Structure 1
């Protein structure tokens, strides 16, 4: 029974994970391209958070998800052979995960303030403040990665005689497994983003009764819809993996080998769902926002026109002297 469950888990990661990774990288690139191309998004603080989140999602898929797919495809984990990559991959993976989750929370909070009736709170939604908050966020998560550089090492197992990239500090392992994975990038962003997205949705329902410029009202509705759908997907994709991961890390529940195999199968399924969150934003925005679709077509047509333009060769009309 254990062998089929193991094979099923590997096949799920191999096929579903590879598809998720491919469409996620493509969607992240297109998302970043659109946000950077349009002035409307470049001047919006919420769109700036979504832009940084899109870039961070690419990093999450590249540093955190792709090594798992490589193991499922060819059974090779470079982090188990290179000390530099062992430390660097773990450090960058947690940084991109943290930045992505933080930007989601900042985007929902920003939309709550942007749709409030109080002008003083609306003034908190400015691009300069967004730039500062993102810089502070990036610095915090880079500093947070220092323990990963310190404690992760290549350890030779005495039982299997294989080298694995793992943490050598039991205290840091406890923090990483319970506080960081389950709390900081698990339930905490789900609660914060869920709460402020509901408050922003309540505010957006009252926009029609306020004297608000039409362009700003349309942009607020568009961004709030995009963020709200993103939060819904966040709840349904991140919660199962976070919960199962909490169960798997509980020693009392995983002593039985058969139970371990069953939990590992469920963990593989929820793992693909987890990274589906990082791969889905662009396609969600296309589905829920007609304005985003028009903007995307505009950006593509503009890029296509610029690409098709041929450089004109100017002919010198001056007749050279004999």
Structure 2
């Protein structure tokens, strides 16, 4: 009975992980592409640091979703994890996941801090946040994140057909710094503090004589960032807590039923955590009425309009035809 229960839990975990990853990839890939399209198309979004952070986050999220999708597809096709067989894929996968996670989370923190600075009533604080500063911070974030992945590339290895980290010092780094601080409490704390401060700033802006266009844009971006960060906190903290418990408590794998249950809980929390890379577009869509109008304008009026013009222009041709020996021409308009 215990053996069959363990087998059923493991099978359910495997199927659940595959299908949820497929769903998250589909909705996330489409959403991030639309984000990039909207933020790079509309003129009033250009040269805005928050939008640059959103775009960088969407790019990092897209790469992350592709990696997760490939991982699960390869496992499903080969019926085993290719990372347990290929040292290159084992190291590359771990490094890229860490890189994209840190870049994505850092851009969330940067967008919250920028919104606080740009909405401040102090002029010298508003001057600190510019498009040049945003580009510089994104470049620094990518460089630091790449440097941080080097230990993963060194210490991730394959032992007994298992791709993992076996070095105790690296395990301590992951258990006590990477998960609880670098990809856990630190970005959550920074994003929370600055988003609350930005919200308070926007409430003051409403009472002041500010240009209507700027006031509306600040309100829109602050609402989008605030809800995005709330979702970020809700989806990130449970996963980090379980990961820290797994590494620090050292779950006993000899108790197979307990280990299977922990894996199932971990898979469910990984699903919620991975939603971080997929839901930003949908959060913006449900949060901001203006963003919905902007999406409609870009997708319907611009993109669909261009496709329609290209399609119908191909049918607007001059077709000669003859009638009792005389040649005339007619323009056939579809």
Matched residue, 2:237? 239
Q: Does 1:269 align with 2:273?
A: no
Aligned residues: 309
Q: Distance in 2 between matches of 1:76 and 1:23?
A: 26
1:289–1:74 distance in 2 versus 1, CA, 3 Å? farther
Q: Is the 8 A contact 1:60 1:93 kept in 2?
A: yes
Q: Distance in 2 between matches of 1:230 and 1:173?
A: 31
Q: Any residues of structure 2 matched to 1:1-322 within 5 Å, and which?
A: 1-64=5-68, 66-68=70-72, 70-71=74-75, 75-155=79-159, 157=160, 163-251=161-249, 254=252, 256-300=255-299, 301-310=301-310
Q: Is the 8 A contact 1:65 1:275 kept in 2?
A: no
SS at match of 1:217: helix
- Segments of 5+ residues of structure 2 without an aligned counterpart are 319-334
RMSD: 2.2
Q: Is the 8 A contact 1:108 1:200 kept in 2?
A: yes
1:252–1:168 distance in 2 versus 1, CA, 3 Å? closer
Q: Distance in 1 between matches of 2:146 and 2:138?
A: 12
Matched residue, 1:160? none
SS at match of 1:166: strand
Q: TM-score, normalised by structure 2?
A: 0.85
Higher RCO structure (Cα 8 Å, ≥6 apart)? 1
Matched residue, 2:330? none
Deviation at 1:238, TM superposition (A): 0.8
Deviation at 1:126, TM superposition (A): 1.1
Deviation at 1:248, TM superposition (A): 1.9
Deviation at 1:85, TM superposition (A): 2.1
SS at match of 2:129: coil
Q: Is the 8 A contact 2:171 2:247 kept in 1?
A: no
Q: Distance in 1 between matches of 2:17 and 2:169?
A: 30
